[in-house]
């Protein structure tokens, strides 16, 4: 399983707590560009989409992980 380095994860969590979901998603997407199968980053995408109320998009990264 691939992980997000603790400093970046802290930044992502701070952005989510501040309701800055687009900025948090931008950070996560930078990770996924380098490592498209990073499970922790995919879970962060799902979490951000869920927090935004977009349940359909929140399912996609989970489905991707389950089917790969």
Mean pLDDT, each 10-residue run in order, the chain (68 residues): 93 98 98 96 98 96 91
pLDDT of residue 11: 98
Instruction: Show contacts of 6-15: CB within 8 Å, 24+ apart.
Output: 9/40, 12/44
Place of tokens 């989510």: 16
pLDDT (0 to 100) of residue 68: 82
Q: Write down the H helix ranges in the chain.
A: 6-17, 21-34, 39-51, 55-67
């Amino acid at each position: 399983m691939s992980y997000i380095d603790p400093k970046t994860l802290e930044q992502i969590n701070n952005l989510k707590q501040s309701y800055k979901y687009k900025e948090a998603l931008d950070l996560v997407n930078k990770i996924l560009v380098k490592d498209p199968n990073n499970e922790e980053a995919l879970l962060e995408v799902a979490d951000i989409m869920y927090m935004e109320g977009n349940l359909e998009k929140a399912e996609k990264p989970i489905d991707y992980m389950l089917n790969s």
